[in-house]
Chain A
Amino acid sequence: MENMQAVNSFVAAYLKKKGFKEAEQLLEDLQNKESAPIDFHNDPELAKFIHHFSQSEDDVARYQYGYSKLRSWTYGSLDLYKHELLRVLYPVFIHSFMDLVAKGHLQEARTFFNAFREDHELMHSRDLQKLEGVLSQSHLEEMEFARSLRQSKVNIKICQYSYDLLLQYLHKTQSTAMLGVINEHINFQVSSGQPTSISDDAEVVTLIGSCQDAANQINQKEIHWGLLEDSLEERLEKAGGLLSDSEKTEGENKEGDVDETKKRSVEGGKQGASTKKLKKDKAINATAKSARPEANTTSTAPRVKPELTLPIMPTEVEQSILEDLRNRVHLSSVALPSVSFYTFLNTHNGLNCSSISHDGSLVAGGFSDSSLKVWDMAKLGQQAGSSTLQGEIDSASSEHVVGPNGGKRSYTLFKGHSGPVYSATFSPLGDFILSSAADTTIRLWSTKLNANLVCYKGHNYPVWDVQFSPVGHYFASASHDRTARIWSMDRIQPLRIMAGHLSDVDCVQWHANCNYVATGSSDKTVRLWDVQSGECVRIFIGHRSMILSLAMSPDGRYMASGDEDGTIMMWDLSSGRCITPLMGHTSCVWTLTFSCEGSLLASGSADCTVKLWDVTTSTKVPRNEEKSGNPNRLRSLKTLPTKSTPVYSLQFSRRNLLFGAGVLSKNM
């Protein structure tokens, strides 16, 4: 009874403290009446809880204690269920920390954080770095990441048995602090049956907070990933089907030769940097011709109607593209591409980005001194015969630099931006360049006139990335202002603004059919947007760091994204799921590109390598095999190390010759 008394008095004190006047009144009434004991007295467990609660009300150490107990219990649990239970630890950890901060126990919060951060360093290092800076309640309010975490619940898939185990443990140990955190911030999705496999825990990696449900909902939307109707490829296939095989190859040979000579005479060897290259290209074509007939992968893709009015292509351009398509080398795991590499020298750490035109003849570099420089590789091949060796560069270039005005430059200088140029992109025909810079503008330049044509203002912060659509005319930009925008060349206002990312939009890429745009962000998600409606139609969650590069497969079905840690993920657009992560790079993946028929993926990284990945094997895997969970289905075919040159950009020409560009950096 004495115990009862104590409980009663505590409850009364608690209610009073919390300001529950009516409840207090009621309790007093009840106590006064002494008629019937309140049911919680009958429930010894609950009483114990409350008792426990009263004792440790102000005891911040119980967080640390409770968490360390939970942690050691989890690590000691059965192997089969361990990984599921381990997932619970991270949200509990960060929320405990934030609770402590919110309650003002900063010192304890810091000790707690430092004590256990190592556990999560591997998976969540970047989140931890952010959270580390949270040192007061106001920071919690201010920091978007923390706020979204606090406001939302984490979904964790867990099997019935693991769930039971966890509850049992929490009850047994009476660690109310942990129970409170778990109840408040974790939403268990209990599934019956076997525990899920380790590889499927993509969602738990990124705690994007707010929109887990929203993301799921968004990913339900239908998307049409097929290729455009009446595309050039399709036309080519039709035309090819009419001709008999022998005629076809014969025709190709002739036309190819004519084309080669025509190109050489008309464009002055624009196709390659030198005639040597032209020849090589031709030789490759010859070898690949025999292998072409089975390359009908694209024909299976469904066709969709364009939602944008597409620009009309001049017939002669169309002809030359068709010619290129006909002479395309068929690449596969056994037929790897040739890679021509453009190395920037003497950039003095000033090169921010580079871009290669679709035929590889033009290379653009955006510099931090606000300049954009364009090299015509066809001309370079003529004059730079003497300075091909790296040792000779000093003498050769000192002749070059007679003076900024008088000396003959090997490039065309485009001046106009007033801040570091962060991105440049060539139009599909190579006649325009777009560049985006820290001065919040995007500028359109003509490579024919060597002049600035338009300055597009609309973003409020630096524009990180700009990309021409596959048909030209339209382009998309991504900015620090957390929006991506769609523009057309003839309007100075954006056509669409895509808002939704929780942090900077770092990269943008068009879908092959121009109806969608993908954006990668510092919030570690990739989103797919409908260009017509401006709606987000997919959210891809799985990366553990900032997304740096995106690539869309030519058949429109898959997307690859590369992040800061060197992970590349292949996504199925229709399901919104990651097919498999591609591990191999050890540093930032700056660039990704699919080969023209989609059989290979090339990635360029800050670790000074170009890697070629076999994509066909991965994407053709039947459903059931996918379930069984072999995490390394995508094969790394080849690693091509450069000589201390981080790879900034890669581009497959229409004939499937791979062009790469990077800066020779001596202090790597």
Chain B
Amino acid sequence: MSNVPKEAIEVVAQSIGITNLSPDVALALAPDVEYRVREIMQEAIKCMRHSRRTVLTADDVDSALNLRNVEPIYGFTSRDPLRFKRAAGHKDLFYIDDKDVEFKEVIEAPLPRAPLDTLVTSHWLAIEGVQPAIPENASVEAPSDGKKADYKEDGLSADVKLPVKHVLSRELQLYFDKIVELTVNRSVSDVFKQALLSLAIDSGLHPLVPYFTYFIADEVARNLNNFPLMFALMRVARSLLKNEHIHIEPYLHQLMPSIITCLVAKRLGNKFTDNHWGLRNFTAKLVASICKRFGHVYHNLQPRVTRTLLHAFLDPTKTLPQHFGAIRGLAALGPSVVRLLILPNLEVYLQLLEPEMLPVKQKNEIKRHEAWCVYGALLRAAGLCMYDRLKMFPGLLGPPTRPVWKSSRKVVTTNKRKASTDNLMQQPPVKKIASDSAIGMMPINSMQVDMQGAVGGFSTTIGGSNIGASSISRQRTNDNISGREVGGRVLRTSTVLAQAWKEDTDAGNLLASLFELFGESMLSFTPKPELSFFL
């Protein structure tokens, strides 16, 4: 009558050594055993549920036995559910395949791999209710119940996308053809200027953007020798970038290579008269404006551009026009880029450049001209950078320093005059450089002396600012202002500029080193104190 037959009870009784079990007892015990087993299983199921599982394990039964204060059954502990096998020839008889294990085998077996430690990973199961198709999510399967069927249909219609035909209106096609024609053939006409203006302000050009992008990239790649066309193309690019109605970001990656090409290409145009310097200048500004505008959207835009340019700049095998382009490009990206990337390499680079600039060593006049152009670009970049630094510290250029600047301007003018005579007389520039450096060296030497005095003067009062102060004092040594006076001046300004001392010292050092390299011409980039009155 019960699932536990009385024979089972008898077998168990025998196994524990009770031989004289009366059949009545077995009969009475059988249903009770079944009841107890059911009771234990009911508790075990509770434990299973609270372990958040849907498969009963031996652990659960042990916990259930624990609940009843019964000794657990040992020997079955396994985290995994037991694997039952069907007995051959019986429909619903199952057993656990429990093999005999040799003790020796167990001992001699190599240690199993340590189990992996528990991990937690995170992923998006849904973003605003939509499941992203990532490996962590289950593949979309057919929902089972009818209510979800309509969702499924929705999902399907969203998934299957028909190829979209890009329809371009007749007017836009005409417009595009016209612009292309103007760019290629009539890039110096007034009409082209009007066209550029139209590109820069007209709304509704967005459908044409991919075509223009392709056009520019294609033409640049094919016509590096055609200087007017290149210039025209860059102007078109600039106009497109200027246009606020155009969402050009997705096409930037196609546009950038062409633009960078126009900046650092080996040759632009095929005639000597082609003003490729101008084109490079123009493109440098364009690159800078792109970086400024889209830098925050594409974090790697400016670093990539900078890296490309820096490579061009530092590669000695590249031609000088390429270097020129790179320097202009970097300079256009701002003074901080110049300070970080150009200035550290400046000294070495100038050493390489110097022979190119000398008629003695470089006979080719065009090459020499190129070298001077590069020199000019470097000077400009460094100077602007320094100007930017010095501008931040108007206190440096306060009234007491005025005599310094006046005198140094005097020096500059003389120098200029000298330079002009140099040029007139076609004197080798090496001499000029030599004289420049002589002028440059002189104050530095005297500075060394005076710095001691300056340090002695106020080192006790402003601990960390010695260098800055000394650099300033160095500038003043030209006029033989005593270190103590300067010290007093600095002491006063120091309270105001306490925060900026670090920067200040940098600026001071910068000026010093640039002065060493470029000589007096550098000073023309320092802000004029007179001007600062009007600011």
Contact = CB atoms under 8 A, between A and B. Distances in A.
A642 B125 contact: yes
Interface stretch (A70-78, A151-159, A529-537, A643-651): A643-651
B80 A409 contact: no
Contact of B54 (A422, A587, A636, A643): A587
B128 A337 contact: yes
Given A522-B46, A564-B49, A606-B54, A345 B66 contact: no
B119 A344 contact: yes
A611 to B, nearest CB: 10
B138 A642 contact: yes
A330 to B, nearest CB: 12
A461 B67 CA distance: 7
A548 to B, nearest CB: 6
A546 B124 CA distance: 31
A420 B49 CA distance: 13
A542 interface: no
A424 to B, nearest CB: 12
A139 interface: yes
Contact of B125 (A132, A340, A351, A353): A340
A446 B125 CA distance: 30
Contact of B120 (A343, A506, A587): A343
Contacts of A352: 50-52
Interface string B111-130: 00011111111111111111
In this complex, which of A135, A394, A409 has the most chain B Cβ atoms within 10 angstroms of its Cβ?
A135
Contact of A363 (B120, B129, B151): B120
Contacts of B53: 349
Interface stretch (A35-43, A49-57, A313-321, A376-384): A376-384
Contacts of B136: 341, 343, 390, 643
Given A352-B52, A411-B120, A339 B126 contact: yes
B38 A133 contact: yes
B42 A342 contact: no
Contacts of B31: 106, 135-136, 139
B52 A338 contact: no
Nearest to B36: A133
Contact of A648 (B34, B52, B54, B141): B52
Contacts of A394: 116
B117 A397 contact: yes
Interface in A340-364: 340-353, 363
B135 interface: yes
Interface in B72-125: 79-81, 114-125
A558 interface: no
Interface stretch (B142-150, B321-329, B339-347, B420-428): B142-150
A643 B145 contact: no
A314 to B, nearest CB: 29
A212 interface: no
Nearest to B28: A136
Contact of A107 (B1, B32, B117, B138): B1
B123 A640 contact: no
Given A273-B122, A284-B128, A401 B117 contact: yes
B34 A373 contact: no
Contacts of B67: 461-462, 480
A583 B159 CA distance: 28
Contacts of B50: 352-353, 422, 462, 464, 506
Contacts of A380: 120-122
B525 to A, nearest CB: 37
Given A346-B116, A387-B121, A139 B151 contact: no
Contacts of B120: 342-345, 363, 365, 375, 377, 380, 410-411, 661
A608 interface: yes
Contact of A133 (B35, B114, B131): B35
Interface in B231-281: none
Contacts of A504: 46
B119 A345 contact: yes
Given A130-B42, A398-B116, A643-B137, A343 B123 contact: yes
A351 B145 CA distance: 31
Interface string B143-177: 10101100100000000000000000000000000
In this complex, which of B80, B123, B141 has the most chain A Cβ atoms within 10 angstroms of its Cβ?
B123
- Prevailing SS type, chain A contact patch: mixed
A456 interface: no
B57 interface: yes
B54 A638 contact: no
B415 interface: no
A610 interface: yes
A389 interface: yes
B322 to A, nearest CB: 38
Given A135-B31, A348-B79, A280 B138 contact: no
A337 B129 contact: yes
Contacts of A106: 1-2, 31
A639 interface: yes
B79 A344 contact: no
B520 interface: no
B69 to A, nearest CB: 11
A389 B147 CA distance: 34
B130 to A, nearest CB: 8
A171 interface: no
A400 interface: yes
A607 to B, nearest CB: 9
Nearest to B151: A638
A335 interface: yes
A376 to B, nearest CB: 10
A348 B115 contact: yes
A335 B128 contact: yes
Interface string A125-144: 00001101111100100000
B56 to A, nearest CB: 12
B59 interface: yes
Contacts of B147: 584, 636
A116 to B, nearest CB: 17
B120 to A, nearest CB: 5
A554 interface: no
B202 interface: no
B129 to A, nearest CB: 3
Interface in A627-662: 636-644, 646, 648, 660-661
Contact of A139 (B35, B63, B115, B145): B35
A486 interface: no
A614 to B, nearest CB: 12
B39 interface: yes
B127 A338 contact: yes
A590 interface: yes
A377 B123 CA distance: 11
A336 B124 CA distance: 14
Contact of B52 (A134, A353, A401, A409): A353
A434 interface: no
Contact of B118 (A336, A338, A340, A344): A344
The 10 closest A-B pairs by CB, nearest first: A336-B129, A135-B31, A133-B38, A341-B125, A339-B125, A349-B79, A346-B116, A339-B126, A643-B138, A641-B138
Given A107-B1, A110-B1, A648-B52, 18 more contacts: A110-B2, A130-B42, A136-B32, A336-B126, A340-B122, A349-B53, A349-B57, A351-B52, A363-B120, A388-B123, A393-B121, A397-B116, A410-B117, A410-B119, A420-B51, A639-B143, A640-B125, A644-B138
16 contacts: A130-B42, A132-B38, A135-B35, A335-B129, A338-B126, A338-B128, A345-B120, A351-B118, A377-B122, A381-B122, A387-B119, A506-B49, A522-B46, A606-B52, A638-B129, A646-B54
Interface of A: 106-107, 110, 129-130, 132-136, 139, 273, 280, 284, 335-353, 363, 365, 367-368, 373, 375, 377, 380-381, 384, 387-390, 393-394, 397-398, 400-401, 407, 409-411, 420, 422, 438, 461-462, 464, 480, 504, 506, 522, 546, 548, 564, 584, 587-588, 590, 606, 608, 610, 612, 636-644, 646, 648, 660-661, 663, 667
